[in-house]
Structure 1
Amino acid sequence: MSETDKSNLIFQISEYLADDLRKVDEHINSILESDTALVREVGQYVRSTQGKRLRPILAILASRAFGYKGEDHTKVAAALELVHSATLLHDDVIDKAPLRRGKPTVNARWGDDVAILIADYLFSHAFNFALNTSMSPRVLSLICQVTARMCEGEMFQIERREEMLTREDYLRIVRGKTAYLFSACTALGTLLAQAPDQEAMLMASYGLNFGIAFQITDDTLDMVAADSEIGKPAWADIRNGKQTLPLIYTWEVAEPSDREDLVHCWRNGRDPETILNYIRKYRGIEFALEQARRYAESAREQLADLPSNPAISMLRDLTAYVVARRS
């Protein structure tokens, strides 16, 4: 998939969902109309750094795939986007990140206290949107469950940060911090449409596999993409001590002497060039990208037995996009 094809795909899907995405934006903008000037200022700044809105897109496509005709899907999509934005704010505080999508992070510009509070503000309104849907108990329950899982994923990563992770550890973190939210997006879309249980399970599995493919790809971009493409300093994960799949695979397969040197380097300063040289030597990035493609293909396979319609076709196309993107 070429860069033009990738850009065109997101544009085409956004155009197809234009009315719904506009309502999502209206919902989110409405909660930023606070009497507190700092909430308005920081909230609008967070909105200005938003990404491609993949999570709202997935939720809306999932609801459309099964013929949903109501209006709650845009509230659910807004809630999911707010949860995502709030977790990024918390992540940036934890990581002491200076940049997010090429702009100073909220914590860098206003401080950790403001970043934490605006994130909590977004969380509270996400839960409120979920409450104001016709299926509110089930919608709110799922959003609360996925929020708890995201916290557990982050806590597990912190708990294990002084240890050398296994692939199983890594996937546990990826599922918790990233993939379960994608799964919630597609699950909630089908829930609103009251899809049959089997189809709902397939869509939830699609989102989970899509999310794993997304995060593995994201972790490789940290090592191969330019700062301007990923919107943060390259090699940030290595500098911050985050163990991702290219690195984990490398010290699993490295010769004993190389592994010893790599682990020593990791625990004593984490020189990015030295670490990346080992990752290149053992083709860690190539291995990780192949794993991402496998998860993307698994996501695609979940759609095979579902009725063909434009929304399903777009979900299928997104499985190619997720592993081909550069940002």
Structure 2
Amino acid sequence: MQDFNNKVAVVTGGASGVGKAISKLLASLGAKVVVSDIEAKALDAAVAGIVEKGGEAIACQADVTSPESMQNLVDTSVKQYGEIHLVFANAGVGTGEGGPMWEYSLNDWEWGFNVNTWGLIHSINAFIPLLVKQNKEAHFIVTGSGNGAFVMMPNTPIYTASKAAVQAITENLHYQLQGAQSPVKVNALFPGPHVVNSGIFNSERNRPEDLPVDPKKQDSGIHSVEDMRNIMAQYGQKLETTEPEEVAQHAIDGIKADKFWICPRTEKSTLAFKARVESILTGETPTPPNVL
């Protein structure tokens, strides 16, 4: 897909971070954007910002953990624009993990998998039948993470495991659509190459009431990118970051180039992935990756 003018794009998690940046960039390229998020005020503000700059966008509040909510997102998009050409399955959360995983609350595990993994499953079940039925060029872009897809970060077991599942689902979706000779393409988007300056470290703001945080939960101490920067500075290390707008541009460039893997890497992350693969191939005992 080379031209985004008049294409219809749906972006989940579109009110902040990477999703917001993708929505803004698509609108600037002439796309009609359905911005979706669970956070109503931020969602309205994101759409207002696009419209103020002359872009075309509508807001549709949706919860990726609900099949009914995702089907409503499909119906709203089709009612407004008729067809859908791009779906960015982007919504995701970090659960603020800290300490040993055997002490984590089951609520943390459930919330992380409900959004990151089941959110993708519900998005696939809602959108892919329509995209396949349209039988036209379309893209289903999944925001994954190298943490889970390529390396295992021991301080974030819930996020890592949920994103490992996301990558497995994404690749299998790609193979099945490829095998069906469908014009629908799948793209695996990995924000980076550095830690993205987004609000994922403050995901608690959208935590559901039925999965409350355990009052005895060990605080990770990281609620923002700035927190991570300060902690690393205490150990004499400098945190490099990537802005959401850079990720959005990577996404558009990757779609234009028809790439499945939209995955900018650093030298450290590449070496860490190679080390993990070597440990699998040789049977050597793995050690924690160093990617920062």
What TM-score comes out, normalization by structure 1 length? 0.30
Write 1 or 2 for the structure with the bigger share of strand: 2
Asked which structure has the greater CA Rg, the reply is: 1
Write 1 or 2 for the structure with the bigger share of helix: 1
What TM-score comes out, normalization by structure 2 length? 0.32
